[in-house]
Amino acid sequence: MEAVYVIIGGGIAGISCIEAISLLDESASIILISATPFVKAVTHINPLTKMLAEFSVEEKPFDYISSMFPSVNVVIDSAIKIDPVQRTVTTSTNKIVNYQKLCICTGASPKMIATDCDHVFGIRDIDSAKQLEEKLKDAKRIMVVGNGGIATELIYEIEGVEIIWAIKDKHISATFIDPGAAEFFQDRLVQKDKDAAATVVKTVKYTVGEGEGTKCTGAALGPHWHDRINLIAKNNASKITVEYEVEVSRVKFHGEDGENWPVYVELTNGKTVGCNFVVSATGVIPNSETISIVNGTFDLAEDKGIKVNSLMETNLPNIYAAGDVCSASWPTACHWFQMRLWTQARQMGSYAGRCMVESKRGEETIVDFCFEMFTHVTRFFGYKVILLGLFNAQNLDRNYELLLRVTKKNEYIKLVVSDGKIQGAVLIGDTDLEEMCENLILNQLNVSEFGEDLLNPDIDIEDYFD
């Protein structure tokens, strides 16, 4: 078998890569090697700004991609070996696939607090989400370990069961938000009110002294993934207890509480908690070492991702990587950084496809504009959450200010201002400020003259920038 372009992995990065190639080089032959008979497709795209879009991720049968793009041949098999000299991929059934350009989109796997334990599992794909649905049916108490996107979504969506939420930070959802936003969400931990009413508006300015900025990494399942499964247990006792600043010491199968739980978790604060099962949501590890390489090795980053340059090229000729499996190893724009999210998997996959086509044609590639600024939109505790630029003052090691506007149970707005210019923003709720914030971050216009009025709801700041 042979094709001009070969893609390994049927996730968002892989399918986005195929879509980009098919649009730019319609007649080119493409082979997708997928370990499962399902692929993940981006649907219902809703652009919010020039750079920001909401979308859904749907699992489709493998023939969906062939029906959309007739030049694509799908091979349901696992790639086990790559020879960059011979330009071949070998599968587990000994198929040999020849390529001119190869893109690795094998994703990442959940970090597990315990392995080989039926009562501890990670949420990463639709299969594991369905496993959660099944386990929840008869559960009375569960533990969620982790403080990122998946953990946050689970805490809000699961009902009818007691939840122990174990986090290593001082506040919830620390991968994405600051303590102020965590406090804003706190009511939803106690009462999951879908019809919260707005109250008074508060506008605050904070000045932050010199110090190291925060570096954030994280990962999330596809947008709205929980809409497709039932996360309501049979029991009516919904209760959430947060254990702050703890980690898991060990997992065991007997306790001292006189009860008979399937699994017990010992925490670093000395507590031992019995429960029906544990969800490990502590991040992911790139699947960079699942395929053996002959006649070469990949350069790997500290996080085990395959290093790629600004053209999504690995250190091996004609081999690219995109999505969670790769680590961006080029001098990035000051307002962009990598997080292993569906948003960036889509962006990287599409860009890698363009890079492959333009390289084959001998054309110069200009780095995609999506890498100018970090953008992400998701939903936490029923609220729309938009993150722009250095939203948690990442890498800002000089003085900066935080401008806040809070309308209880309605919106939380935070702007990160440094040298009189907006460097990042957190927008929770229907604020309608995403376009203004995006433009101000990209253009780096000085907003010092506005002061706290920048967030005054009675002043239309956009009029000043028309």
Q: Per-residue pLDDT averaged across 337-346, rounded?
A: 95
What HEC string does 120-170 produce? EEECCCHHHHHHHHHHHCCCCEEEEECCCHHHHHHHHHCECCEEEEECCCC
| DSSP structure string for 365-394 | -PPPGGGGB-EEEEEETTEEEEEEESTT-T
The predicted structure's pLDDT at residue 197: 37
Q: Per-residue pLDDT averaged across 113-133, rounded?
A: 81
Strand partners, 167: none
Residue 234 pLDDT class (50, 70, 90 cuts): low
Q: Per-residue pLDDT averaged across 324-337, rounded?
A: 97
Residue 215 pLDDT class (50, 70, 90 cuts): very low
Name the residue with tokens 């000729």.
317
* 118 alpha carbon, distance to own chain's centre: 26
The predicted structure's pLDDT at residue 399: 80
Model confidence at 90: pLDDT above 80: yes
Check: CB of residue 16 under 8 Å from CB of residue 353: yes
Cα 324 to Cα 346: distance, rounded to the nearest angstrom = 10
pTM: 0.88
The predicted structure's pLDDT at residue 226: 47
Q: What is the mean pLDDT of the chain?
A: 87
Q: Per-residue pLDDT averaged across 286-310, rounded?
A: 96
Q: Per-residue pLDDT averaged across 10-36, rounded?
A: 95
The predicted structure's pLDDT at residue 157: 87
Lowest mean pLDDT among 185-189, 334-338, 460-464: 460-464
Q: Per-residue pLDDT averaged across 392-420, rounded?
A: 90
Closest to 316 measured CA to CA, from 77, 35, 88 = 88
Q: Per-residue pLDDT averaged across 128-140, rounded?
A: 86
The predicted structure's pLDDT at residue 392: 92
Model confidence at 100: pLDDT above 90: yes
Model confidence at 214: pLDDT above 70: no
Which token pair is 146?
């982790």
Name the residue with tokens 């071949």.
88
Cα 38 to Cα 61: distance, rounded to the nearest angstrom = 4
Closest to 283 measured CA to CA, from 125, 149, 115, 142 = 149
Residue 256 pLDDT class (50, 70, 90 cuts): low
